[in-house]
Structure 1
Amino acid sequence: MASVRADGRVERGNQTRQLILGRAVQIASVEGLEGLSLGRLATELGLSKSGVFALFGSKEGLQLATVRGAVAVFVDHVLRPARSVPPGLGRVWAMCEAWIAYSRERVFRGGCFFYAATAEFDARSGRVHDALASAQTGWVTFVEETIEEARAAGELAGDTDVCQLAFEVIALLELSNAESVLQNNNLGYDKAARAILSRLRSAATGPGLLPPPR
């Protein structure tokens, strides 16, 4: 019986934690990670401040958990859809389309969570900075590996500079997000898609490996 009660408390604690993080990632995407506070989240969600504190321990603990929560959302909306496509240029393009949809559809209210949070913490030091740096490294590595798979499959020229191409793709995606959020329009996404397709097409080994020009 005691085990059943303990399991119930753990489950309720997990549900409360997910509820808090769901609100936290949205606030942080608009107002930054510094805009988070245990008291604010407790008030907005009708929870006790002591209960929220017990789950996260400190503002930094909340910020770190928020970054991890945002990573999980990003994986669901960008990485998993890309991985569902066989390796090659089709997967590279699916990755780009998934990223554009993630930003355009405002999965996070403020656009790309990591674009905003990285700008907030890039010149700082500490655990939150390190968590964001790790998340960015993971994304860059995924893009490079996805492009390398296409090169290894013979769909990109053998002399393709994978790291350079990944850098260019990420830069175009991030600029489209920045322009959309700042100007409150979607024009940048089409421009980024055209530029990425053009860049990929210039390195592709066959014209039919990518969608036609937009």
Structure 2
Amino acid sequence: MADVKEDGRRARGQRSREAILGQAVSLASVHGLDGLTLGRLAEAAGVSKSGFFAHWRDKEQLQLDTIEWAVRQWTDEIVKPALKAPPGVARVLALHEARLRFYERGVLPGGCFFYTARVEFDDRPGPVRDRVAESMADWLRFVERLVREAVELGELPPETDPAQLAYEIDALGEAAVTHTRLLGRGEAAYERARRAVHDRLKEFA
């Protein structure tokens, strides 16, 4: 019986932790990782402050765990759906489309957690900046890999620079966020981002 109770407590603790991290990613997309205050998070996640301290006693660790949760969300919402498309140009386009749809659906109130984190920590040394940079590098390497597959399949010419094309695709995704949120262009910004990548790939193909 004691084991059953202990398992139940662990399951509740895990659910509580996941609820907090989900809210942390949402809040950080608006307020930044430094904006993750105890009161704001506890209220958003519906947990007590004492329950919060059962999971984190250090703000930096909370920030690092929030980044990991955001990576998991990005993988589930963007990377995995794209991998269902056949390799080659279709998969590159599917990845860009999945990203834009993630933004269009308003999954995060601030649009993009990683864009906010990059701007916030690009010139602030430390473990949090290092993890943000690592996640960005992983993403760009993944886009490069898909472009390289398209080259190997003969769908893009052999002189294609995967790193350059990955840079352009990522930049167009970021531009869609800022144009939507700062300029209020909404659907038009997403359509421009779609067309830009499509036209760029068509030039190569």
Residue type of the alignment partner of 2:29: S
* Equivalent runs, 1:1-214 vs 2, <5 Å: 1-186=1-186, 187-204=188-205
SS of corresponding position for 2:55: helix
Alpha-carbon distance in 2 for matches of 1:76, 1:55: 24
Specify the code of the residue in structure 1 equivalent to 2:152.
Answer: A
Helix, strand or coil for the counterpart of 2:78?
helix
| Alignment partners' CA distance in 2, 1:45 and 1:143 | 33
For residues 13-39 of structure 1, the C-alpha deviation after alignment (integer angstroms, 9 at most, x for no partner) is 000011111211111101111110223
- Shift in CA distance, 46/102, structure 1 to aligned 2, threshold 3 Å: closer
Percent identity over the alignment is 46
Change (3 A) 1:23 1:137: same
Measure the CA separation in 2 of the matches of 1:189 and 1:64.
30
Give the TM-score normalised by the residue count of structure 2: 0.95
Question: What secondary structure does 1:56 align onto?
Answer: coil
Aligned CA RMSD, in angstroms, stands at 1.2
Hey, what's the Cα distance between the residues in 2 that align with 1:42 and 1:158?
A: 53
Amino acid at match of 1:143: V
| 1:145, distance to aligned residue in structure 2 (A) | 0.3
What is the letter of the counterpart of residue 161 of structure 2?
A: D
In structure 1, C-alpha distance between the alignment counterparts of 2:110 and 2:62, rounded to whole Å? 19
Give yes or no for contact 1:104–1:177 (8 Å, CA) kept in 2: no
TM-score, length-scaled by structure 1: 0.91
Deviations, residues 89-135 of structure 1 (Å, cap 9, x unaligned)? 11011011001111122211111110111100110011111111111
Which residue identity does 1:27 align to in structure 2?
L
Number of matched residues?
Answer: 204
Amino acid at match of 1:10: R
Q: What is the CA–CA distance in structure 2 between the aligned matches of 1:120 and 1:195, rounded to whole Å?
A: 27
Q: CA deviation at 1:185?
A: 2.8
CA separation in 1, counterparts of 2:44 and 2:162? 46
Equivalent residue, structure 2, for 1:207? none
In structure 2, distance between residues paired with 1:30 and 1:184: 16
CA contact (8 A) 1:38 1:53 kept: no
